Structure 1
């Protein structure tokens, strides 16, 4: 028995397609349940799910009063009837063999968690450039779940597939994390000696941000919340997480020094610009995309937003206390 957990909030545009991709799975439907845990949506999400649950008895709707993702997942874990739990996302479509391949890989390898590669589907000129950027090593470092072509052990995966007893043993998701909840859970798994296995045979397709403003906000939040992760789990740091803040610090320092000397700015800015343009041209040519001229801006947005978010998050580690001056 497999339980698929889908946190949801105002997902009327995508929830029906997501559920359709899961209903059509090759895994036996009588051994699979789909739990949509809704954070009190204000649109038609609940109506859509209830209508589908009337047709498909293995779809169930639950409420998430706290309205945050880790809370929704913990509710799902408690309510799950399956021996295996799969986390899914309402903005994502799943390959017809996704569930079958996930369960097979989990039981065959005895990994603590298995996950697949998430393939972005961009909409519009900017959206397609963003899709290229978030699936490029230059854009996201060694986040292999965004572009890997072979099976490998990794630090984290998108979504995931576990034995329910494994999730219960580690206490489920940490509900103090509004972002990075997956990474935090996978880190605790690895600390227990449980491996995280990534396989490109587990295919799913999602729709990334379609405008630069939303992309900036997304990666700023990622960077900011990473500081909380590092404060609680210093050993979780990997190189892809520290390079953007170092780049931002170097760039801002070079800009500040520019009135005195242009060489630092030329070295930092020029080196980055050349690398960015080279990768952008190569990536766009390889994929035959006409969105290539937007790609340098996408890469810079990802790196700048993550770096500034990370640096902004440091204020929570080193709060500045206000000093009140007493009159003489």
Structure 2
């Protein structure tokens, strides 16, 4: 394996005791030479045993470095890791994922092959466990009905320039020219950073021949919380960029507006009530059909259909409601991550 570049792999974590060992093993088993890479883990003050696991690995593998991320949020962890890194290429990874043996080498190769500034792979979302609910959540997170035209989630057939990629493999000079990750964004910091890259003429590429496995949330409560937070921080991202980065983010918002406003207006005139009902029925029929078609691919048809039927609206309405809460916060003067972060 050619090792033209020294690579810094950076990973922000907090309370990842369940999966960090498996993730680290897949990074240590890479076909990229270990003497040409480092793994910097920024821990957000974990209290579940994560630190002890990482320290055990670091004692055996000098390329693993553990640093403290006192602020406990992803962008500060990323920035701290970048600032102490030595790599000519910086690869951002996630503790919820499992990486194929050629992950680092293929991303580094693709940077030069396609003259890109940031390269990412397709995410293969896998269930948290073997239950019908976990399988349904994983399917919903990989379906166009669930996530729209998010290319890295639904897949592509050939290398394509995109608005964002999962995690990312960056040339170091990108950070010198564009800046670091925005520390006001607890969520969506990757989207905002990639949008800044595009504004500066940088090339972001998604390649289809490399996939990493991402473990989905284990229940509907966690799924709703994740999507709510994604929606919550999107208005702040748009405010910072002074534009709506993608149109797909507005669909859940419009669904919420249609559901609530249509219900209120339906009392004004019978025609509005009819049109409102037709619209909701269209969504319901689409939800039923998509869930049924995907459930037919699995043996537990009834339970799978039921959980898919619950997963999709959980995603749509949670994201949409988060977006509305984010808009309200933005309009009332909240422009910092601490002001956006709310318990839910």
Fold match, TM over 0.5? yes
Deviation at 1:285, TM superposition (A): 2.9
Residue matched to 2:305: 292
Residue matched to 1:131: 138
* 1:188 paired to 2:196: yes
Residue matched to 1:12: 17
User: Does 12-21 or 306-315 show the bigger shift?
Assistant: 306-315
Q: 1:144 aligned to 144, 151, 162, which one?
A: 151
Distance (whole Å) between structure 2 residues aligned to residue 289 and residue 307 of structure 1: 30
Q: 2:172 aligned to 150, 164, 171, which one?
A: 164
Kindly indicate whether the alpha-carbon contact (under 8 Å) linking 2:141 and 2:153 is maintained by their aligned counterparts in 1: yes
Kindly indicate whether the alpha-carbon contact (under 8 Å) linking 1:187 and 1:236 is maintained by their aligned counterparts in 2: no
Distance (whole Å) between structure 2 residues aligned to residue 25 and residue 117 of structure 1: 18
CA RMSD, 1 decimal: 1.6
Q: 1:203 aligned to 191, 194, 211, which one?
A: 211
Kindly indicate whether the alpha-carbon contact (under 8 Å) linking 2:195 and 2:245 is maintained by their aligned counterparts in 1: no
Structure 1 unaligned blocks of 5 or more? 321-328
Residue matched to 1:242: 250
Q: How many residues align?
A: 320
Distance (whole Å) between structure 2 residues aligned to residue 286 and residue 237 of structure 1: 34
Distance (whole Å) between structure 2 residues aligned to residue 92 and residue 196 of structure 1: 21
Residue matched to 2:82: 77
User: Does 297-306 or 255-264 show the bigger shift?
Assistant: 255-264
Residue matched to 1:325: none
* 1:264 paired to 2:275: yes
Q: 2:331 aligned to 306, 318, 327, which one?
A: 318
The two structures have a TM-score, normalised by structure 2, of 0.89
Residue matched to 1:175: 183
Judged with a 3 Å threshold, the aligned counterparts in structure 2 of structure 1 residues 287 and 97 are, in CA distance, closer, same or farther, namely farther
Residue matched to 2:336: none
* 1:255 paired to 2:272: no
Distance (whole Å) between structure 1 residues aligned to residue 297 and residue 314 of structure 2: 22
Kindly indicate whether the alpha-carbon contact (under 8 Å) linking 1:251 and 1:268 is maintained by their aligned counterparts in 2: no
The two structures have a TM-score, normalised by structure 1, of 0.93
Q: 1:119 aligned to 117, 124, 135, which one?
A: 124
Structure 2 unaligned blocks of 5 or more? 1-5, 334-344
Moved over 4 A (4+): 286-289
* 1:21 paired to 2:26: yes
Residue matched to 1:307: 320
Distance (whole Å) between structure 1 residues aligned to residue 298 and residue 149 of structure 2: 20
Distance (whole Å) between structure 2 residues aligned to residue 236 and residue 107 of structure 1: 30
SS at match of 1:235: coil
Deviation at 1:161, TM superposition (A): 0.2
Distance (whole Å) between structure 1 residues aligned to residue 224 and residue 57 of structure 2: 35
Deviation at 1:145, TM superposition (A): 0.8
Distance (whole Å) between structure 2 residues aligned to residue 99 and residue 130 of structure 1: 28
SS at match of 1:37: strand
Kindly indicate whether the alpha-carbon contact (under 8 Å) linking 2:238 and 2:245 is maintained by their aligned counterparts in 1: yes
Q: Deviations over 1:104-152 (max 9, x none)?
A: 0012212121101111111222111010001011100111111213221
SS at match of 2:296: helix
Residue matched to 2:341: none
Q: Deviations over 1:142-173 (max 9, x none)?
A: 11111213221110011000011212221111
Deviation at 1:313, TM superposition (A): 1.4
Kindly indicate whether the alpha-carbon contact (under 8 Å) linking 2:120 and 2:205 is maintained by their aligned counterparts in 1: yes
Kindly indicate whether the alpha-carbon contact (under 8 Å) linking 1:154 and 1:196 is maintained by their aligned counterparts in 2: yes
Distance (whole Å) between structure 1 residues aligned to residue 21 and residue 330 of structure 2: 42
Q: Deviations over 1:22-42 (max 9, x none)?
A: 001111111111111111111
Distance (whole Å) between structure 2 residues aligned to residue 76 and residue 236 of structure 1: 29
Q: Deviations over 1:42-61 (max 9, x none)?
A: 12111111111111121111
Deviation at 1:287, TM superposition (A): 6.0
